[in-house]
């Protein structure tokens, strides 16, 4: 369920680091808790984001929730699919429905993130 | 009670008021009068108010006929006393009316989505500018100098604490229309929107689509502003505009010393997430019947707090309802007819005075005062029970010999002859 090569946050984002760039999404657990997602608000390419700060938001039929950036850096790509098909976030949160790609400005920050095993035991404890 | 409030006297409660604004003497009423005598006294004073005057004042607030049906509908208790009437279970009547309002505004402005109304035209323009900044991620707006001067003031007030820059572009000396070369030279990669009023403050009908093309070339949006809603009855909507923001006072809303009015903001569907304010949508109830409810509320302050599109979390329900009834009473044909009457009256008056600009105008135009100064002419006209036009020098020092004249369906030929005569004498 939770890919072992991803890192996770306690706010339920995941990040896949490849070289100096990280692909960011929200976890299966997050989309399940949110329910049907109807809108995703994301930054524009070029935006500077900071670890732990809001990156955008997801809106479900229940609520609007902030997405917190797992790392600091510059947004280099935004997933265009989500503008027209936000439901993809419910269908494939760890794959096709990634949110943004960030060029890391402080790669050391990833040491603070959770492994798949840690995240699973964290949500086990939370739920 | 005073002790509970922690004050010694009733006057202490008003201690925070500036002393020069306080009345430190009893009202000057005749002593020993009964209640009905006092009422009689004030009724008599009331008749001294200006009534039965002809008016050529426009400049953002226009004198139009108000169909009797407007007050009949808005005085109904269901509408008049309803407060925040948004609960779908109990408010289908007002929600239906708001939905019709939004639909008619879209039809009139050639847009895809309109909200439930704004406070007035000026705040609608400021909200439109902030909306454009959110959509483009840019922080600078350009307003043509022929956007209503008071709208530009409100815009600057909003922009000041949003970290937004407001800059102005000029108008053509001859035509009175926007100077597109000036506009083009001031556009840059940080410009979120170009704000164009049409008919503009001088009454000139602008080529909004051409201005939109200039703005779009640099990635900026075009905000079309209007103050005279009756013009929408005859002018082709500027379909290239990205946001339309305007004032509905002309639609059966009394001038009332400048308010309350109702504004509109409308846009293309792709920008709906950035539209501020209330939005009523169509849905189905549990039995499958057509029903109405607030929609996309996640844009709003009570759900999103500081991330809301705007801090407006209401609409001008009752005042907007006046406009809704007006639009319903007149309909497509009626609105066109009243617009044509305005056009004809303005042409009649314009043919009798020297015009300052050559651009095409709707029901308002700048006239040159060849004899006396505008203010002096107006003083003389009051004696003839005529309220003259707006002396333009107040907002445009370079036009201090000009007067902005509006002619509507309410002006008679006799009044217009007198007005023209006073201007040129």
Distance from CA of B130 to the nearest CA of A (A): 17
The structure tokens listed for B92 are 């289908």
Strand ranges, E, within B5-109: 54-55
**Residue A105, pLDDT score:** 95
Residue of B134, B275, B298 best to disrupt the A interface, most CBs of A under 10 A: B298
Per-residue pLDDT tens over the stretch B136-170? 999 999 999 999 999 999 999 999 988 999 999 99
**Residue A54, pLDDT score:** 92
Query: Is A3 among the domain residues?
Result: no
Mean pLDDT for chain A? 93
Does A39 sit within 8 Å of B298, measured CB to CB?
A: yes
Closest to B315 measured CA to CA, from B128, B119, B94, B80: B119
Q: Does A64 touch chain B (CB under 8 A)?
A: yes
Q: Specify which of B26-35, B264-273, B300-309 reaches the highest per-range mean pLDDT.
A: B264-273
Query: What percent of chain B has pLDDT above 90?
Result: 79
Closest to B402 measured CA to CA, from B364, B373, B363, B359: B373
Q: Which residues contact A68 (CB under 8 A, 6 or more apart)?
A: A9, A11, A13, A52, A53, A54, A55
Q: Above 80 in pLDDT, residue B42?
A: yes
For chain B, domains (ranges, CATH) are: 54-65+332-424 (3.90.1150.10), 68-325 (3.40.640.10)
Query: Is A38 among the domain residues?
Result: yes
The model's confidence at residue B134, banded by pLDDT at 50, 70 and 90, is very high
Closest chain B residue by Cα to residue A83: B270
Distance from CA of B161 to the nearest CA of A (A): 22
Per-residue pLDDT tens over the stretch B45-101? 888 887 889 999 999 999 999 999 999 999 998 898 877 778 888 899 999 999 999
- Total CB pairs under 8 A between chain A and B: 10
Per-residue pLDDT tens over the stretch B344-360? 999 999 999 999 999 99
The structure tokens listed for B275 are 């539209």
Q: Above 80 in pLDDT, residue A70?
A: yes
Cβ atoms < 10 Å from Cβ of B5: 10
**Residue B298, pLDDT score:** 76
Question: DSSP of B101-121, one letter per residue?
Answer: HHHHHHHHHT-SEE-S-BS-H
Q: Is the bond leading into B381 cis (omega within 30 degrees of zero)?
A: no
The model's confidence at residue A127, banded by pLDDT at 50, 70 and 90, is low
**How many domains, chain A?**
1
Does B298 sit within 8 Å of A59, measured CB to CB?
A: yes
pLDDT mean over B96-116: 97
Query: Is A18 among the domain residues?
Result: no
The model's confidence at residue A126, banded by pLDDT at 50, 70 and 90, is low
**Residue A62, pLDDT score:** 77
Alpha-carbon gap, residue B247 to B226, rounded angstroms: 6
The model's confidence at residue A64, banded by pLDDT at 50, 70 and 90, is confident
Residues in chain B closer than 8 A to A64 (CB atoms): 298, 303-304, 307
3-class DSSP assignment, residue B403: strand
**Residue B171, pLDDT score:** 98
**Residue B371, pLDDT score:** 86
Q: Does A44 touch chain B (CB under 8 A)?
A: yes
B-facing residues of A in 20-39 (CB < 8 A) are 39
Cβ atoms < 10 Å from Cβ of B304: 15
* CATH number of the domain enclosing A100: 2.40.50.100
Distance from CA of A73 to the nearest CA of B (A): 18
Per-residue pLDDT tens over the stretch B369-425? 988 999 999 999 999 999 999 999 999 999 999 999 999 999 999 999 999 999 987
pTM of the model: 0.86
Q: Does B307 touch chain A (CB under 8 A)?
A: yes
pLDDT mean over B24-49: 88
Q: Above 60 in pLDDT, residue B303?
A: yes
Range of the domain at A113: 28-126
**Residue B373, pLDDT score:** 95
Closest chain A residue by Cα to residue B295: A61
**Residue B384, pLDDT score:** 92
Per-residue pLDDT tens over the stretch B209-257? 999 999 999 999 999 999 999 999 999 999 999 999 999 999 999 999 8
**Residue A48, pLDDT score:** 95
For A39, the closest of B273, B303, B307 (CB atoms) is B273
Does A64 sit within 8 Å of B273, measured CB to CB?
A: no
Q: Above 60 in pLDDT, residue B301?
A: yes
Does B303 sit within 8 Å of A64, measured CB to CB?
A: yes
Does B307 sit within 8 Å of A64, measured CB to CB?
A: yes
Residues in chain B closer than 8 A to A44 (CB atoms): 137
Mean pLDDT for chain B? 94
Alpha-carbon gap, residue B398 to B364, rounded angstroms: 19
Alpha-carbon gap, residue A45 to A99, rounded angstroms: 12
């Amino acid at each position: 369920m939770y890919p072992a090569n991803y890192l996770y946050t306690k706010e339920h984002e995941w990040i896949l680091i490849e070289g100096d760039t990280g692909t960011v999404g929200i976890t299966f657990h997050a989309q399940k808790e949110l329910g049907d997602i109807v809108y995703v608000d994301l930054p524009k390419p070029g935006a500077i984001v900071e670890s732990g700060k809001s990156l955008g938001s997801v809106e479900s039929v229940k609520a609007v929730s902030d997405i917190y950036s797992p790392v600091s850096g510059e947004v280099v790509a935004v997933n265009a699919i989500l503008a027209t098909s936000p439901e993809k976030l419910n269908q494939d949160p760890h794959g096709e429905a990634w949110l943004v790609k960030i060029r890391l400005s402080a790669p050391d920050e990833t040491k603070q993130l959770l492994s798949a095993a840690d995240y699973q035991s964290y949500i086990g404890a939370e739920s | 009670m005073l002790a509970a409030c922690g004050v010694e006297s009733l006057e202490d409660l008003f201690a925070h008021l500036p002393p020069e604004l306080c009345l430190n003497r009893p009202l000057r009423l005749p002593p020993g009068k009964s209640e009905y005598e006092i009422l009689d006294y004030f009724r008599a004073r009331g008749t001294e108010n200006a009534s039965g005057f002809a008016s050529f004042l426009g400049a953002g607030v226009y004198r139009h006929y108000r169909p009797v049906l407007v007050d009949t509908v808005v005085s109904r208790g269901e509408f008049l006393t309803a407060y925040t009437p948004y609960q779908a279970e109990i408010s289908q009547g007002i929600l239906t009316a708001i939905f019709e309002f939004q639909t008619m505004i879209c039809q009139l402005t050639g847009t895809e989505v309109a909200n439930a109304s704004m406070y007035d035209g000026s705040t609608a323009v400021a909200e439109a500018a902030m909306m454009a900044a959110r959509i483009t991620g840019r922080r600078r707006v350009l307003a043509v100098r022929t956007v209503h001067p008071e709208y530009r003031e409100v815009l600057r007030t909003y922009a000041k604490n949003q970290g937004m820059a407001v800059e102005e572009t000029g108008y053509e000396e001859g035509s009175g229309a926007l100077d597109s070369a000036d506009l083009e030279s001031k556009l840059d990669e940080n410009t979120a929107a170009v704000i164009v009023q049409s008919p503009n403050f001088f009454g000139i009908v602008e080529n909004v689509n051409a201005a939109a093309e200039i703005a779009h070339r640099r990635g900026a949006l075009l905000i079309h502003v209007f103050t005279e809603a009756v013009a929408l009855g005859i002018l082709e909507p500027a379909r290239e505009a990205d946001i339309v923001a305007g004032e509905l006072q002309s639609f059966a809303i009394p001038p009332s010393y400048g308010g309350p009015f109702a504004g509109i903001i409308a846009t293309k569907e792709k920008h709906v997430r950035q539209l501020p304010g209330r939005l009523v949508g169509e849905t189905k109830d549990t039995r499958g019947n057509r029903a109405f409810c607030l929609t996309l509320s996640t844009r709003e302050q009570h759900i999103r707090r500081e991330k809301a599109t705007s801090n407006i979390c209401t609409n001008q329900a009752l005042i907007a309802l006046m406009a809704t009834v007006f639009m319903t009473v007149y309909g497509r044909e009626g609105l066109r007819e009243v617009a044509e009457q305005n056009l004809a009256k303005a042409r009649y008056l314009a043919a009798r005075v020297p015009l300052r600009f050559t651009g095409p105008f709707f029901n308002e135009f700048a006239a040159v005062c060849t004899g006396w100064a505008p203010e002096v002419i107006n003083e003389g006209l009051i004696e003839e029970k005529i309220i003259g036009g707006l002396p333009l020098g107040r907002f445009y020092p370079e036009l201090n010999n000009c007067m902005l004249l509006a002619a509507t369906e309410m002006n008679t030929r006799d009044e217009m002859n007198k007005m023209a005569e006073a201007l040129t004498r």
